[in-house]
């Protein structure tokens, strides 16, 4: 009864509009108070908050965010889109396909889907308008393409999953490469088919001269070097995710400053945005860990695992129930909040049934990725709408078609676990 009361309190606070971090912390603290008394609540909440922010692996989040903000201030995102558009913008739906490829590239440095969506929406919309694209289709493509940052490393969602479940963050980040590339490839195929079916909605662009193509490719040489450096460092086991983030952020800063593309004003702007984003995320982590401690002392998770074990349900039935739960939560809540609230319960439950923790991480991240473009609270849709001025309803119409390919990818990842686990198994220990 106590556990149910705290869950109801949490849902009530969220529906009343309380920030997620405070809703998690308040409901968890009240639960601890009712279970252990005032002194227990005071000591545990303070200790939990300290342990959360003192976790060294969490430093990877602000470092990767800082790297992405530096690139954004230095104009790298615009150059990546320009290069993709020069090479394949002439195809049917070419600017849409270029947006997907640019989002995949920016995802490899941002880790944040909302940042990728907002940045690419502002950059690509003028080209969409110039060529006469349907605004619903154009904005829907950009919103969906932005979700690639949730899967492709350095994924903040993967880092949070690793911290919450004590799973290797390096292996989780590498595990997201094939699913991320697969998602992007299916998006490209889907947009091409869409353009063939409705050429007036997704027309072809102009064919750029080869000189312009090579010039655009040379312009992103520094960006490609940084991205490849991150992947190689992680895959070869040269450094941890946090160390990789620190080195990558340092290289990015040095490159942009030496190239004359970033000044003091841009650095300060990147630092300010990094501080805001990181403070928000760390606050949510603290609140979630307080609630997680309450679930621990009340033995909610072990009892649920034991209950499932006694019920004799098939593992695939339990997994299906978990998937449905995440799909439902995805249309109502932020991706990070979903992970932090649910993982203390779902992770031990699913792994007790014999499922691989790396594979489960990829599946969960894919599920919260789908939620980012699913009505009524698809975060990417609202970000793109705000960046472009196109109504939320119109953007949602565009994402409806793209969701087909998200679910195809999800089905493939469920059917073929090696898509998620093969690269981590090949990593240098």
The per-residue pLDDT for 54 is 67
72 to 115, 193, 270: CA distances (angstroms): 9, 31, 8
- Whether the CB-CB separation of 173 and 248 falls below 8 Å is answered with no
Number of helices (H), then strands (E), belonging to the chain: the values are 23, 0
Q: Is the peptide bond before 373 cis (omega within 30 degrees of 0)?
A: no
Give 356's contacts (C-beta < 8 A, 6+ positions apart). 417, 420, 421
The per-residue pLDDT for 412 is 95
What are the residue boundaries of the structural domains of the chain, listed by start?
57-426
Here the contacts of 195-201 (C-beta below 8 Å, separation 24 or greater) are 195/91, 195/92, 195/93, 195/96, 196/92, 198/134, 198/137, 199/92, 200/132, 200/134, 201/133, 201/134, 201/137
The per-residue pLDDT for 395 is 86
3-state secondary structure of 422: helix
Closest of 67, 9, 10 to residue 337, by C-alpha: 10
Residue with tokens 């971090």: 21
Q: What is the pLDDT along the chain (429 residues), one digit of tens a residue?
A: 677 787 788 778 877 777 777 888 888 888 888 887 877 777 777 777 676 666 667 777 788 888 878 887 887 878 888 888 888 888 888 888 888 888 888 777 766 677 677 777 777 878 888 888 888 888 888 888 888 888 888 788 888 888 888 888 888 888 988 999 999 999 999 999 998 888 888 888 788 888 888 998 888 888 888 888 877 887 777 777 788 888 888 888 888 888 888 888 888 988 888 888 777 777 777 777 787 777 777 776 666 666 666 677 788 888 888 888 888 777 766 677 778 778 888 888 888 888 999 999 999 999 988 888 887 767 788 878 877 778 888 888 888 888 899 999 999 999 999 999 998 887 655
Taking phi over 0 as left and psi of -120 to 50 as alpha, with beta for the rest, 64 belongs to alpha
The per-residue pLDDT for 266 is 86
Instruction: Record the pTM.
Output: 0.82
For residue 207, the 8-state DSSP code is P
Closest of 125, 120, 123 to residue 136, by C-alpha: 125
DSSP for 1-51, written as a single string: -HHHHHHHHHHHHHHTT--HHHHHHHHHHHHHHHHH-HHHHHHHHHHHHHH
CA distance 198 to 80: 27
């Amino acid at each position: 009864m106590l556990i149910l009361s705290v869950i109801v309190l949490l849902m009530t606070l969220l529906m009343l509009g309380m920030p997620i971090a405070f809703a998690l912390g308040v409901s968890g603290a009240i639960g601890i108070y009712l279970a252990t008394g005032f002194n227990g609540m005071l000591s545990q909440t303070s200790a939990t908050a300290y342990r959360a922010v003192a976790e060294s692996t969490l430093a990877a989040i602000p470092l990767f965010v800082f790297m992405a903000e530096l690139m954004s201030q230095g104009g790298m995102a615009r150059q990546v889109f320009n290069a993709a558009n020069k090479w394949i913008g002439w195809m049917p739906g070419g600017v849409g396909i270029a947006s997907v490829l640019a989002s995949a590239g920016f995802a490899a440095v941002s880790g944040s889907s909302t940042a990728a969506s907002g940045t690419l929406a502002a950059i690509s919309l003028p080209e969409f308008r110039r060529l006469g694209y349907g605004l619903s289709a154009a904005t829907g493509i950009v919103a969906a393409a932005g979700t690639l940052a949730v899967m492709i490393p350095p994924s903040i969602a993967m880092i949070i999953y690793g911290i919450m479940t004590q799973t290797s963050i390096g292996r989780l980040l590498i595990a997201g490469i094939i699913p991320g590339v697969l998602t992007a490839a299916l998006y490209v195929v889907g947009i091409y088919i869409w353009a063939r079916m409705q050429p007036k909605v997704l027309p072809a662009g102009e064919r750029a001269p080869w000189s312009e193509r090579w010039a655009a490719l040379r312009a992103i040489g520094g960006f490609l070097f940084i991205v490849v450096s991150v992947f190689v460092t992680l895959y070869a086991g040269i450094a941890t995710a946090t160390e990789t983030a620190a080195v990558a952020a340092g290289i990015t800063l040095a490159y942009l400053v030496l190239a004359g593309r970033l000044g003091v004003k841009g650095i300060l702007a990147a630092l300010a945005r990094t501080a805001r984003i990181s403070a928000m995320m760390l606050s949510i982590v603290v609140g979630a860990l307080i609630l997680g401690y309450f679930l621990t002392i009340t033995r909610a998770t072990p009892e649920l695992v034991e209950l499932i074990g006694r019920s004799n349900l098939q593992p695939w039935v339990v997994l299906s129930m978990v998937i449905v739960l995440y799909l439902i939560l995805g249309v109502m809540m932020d991706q990070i909040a979903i992970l932090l609230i649910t993982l203390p319960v779902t992770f031990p439950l699913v792994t007790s049934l014999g499922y691989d923790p790396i594979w489960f991480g990829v599946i969960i991240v894919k599920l919260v990725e789908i939620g980012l473009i699913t009505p009524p609270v698809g975060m990417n849709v609202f970000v793109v709408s705000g960046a472009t001025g196109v109504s939320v309803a119109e953007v949602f119409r565009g994402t409806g078609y793209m969701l087909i390919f998200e679910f195809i990818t999800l089905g493939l990842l469920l059917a073929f676990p090696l898509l998620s686990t093969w690269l981590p198994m090949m990593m240098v220990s």
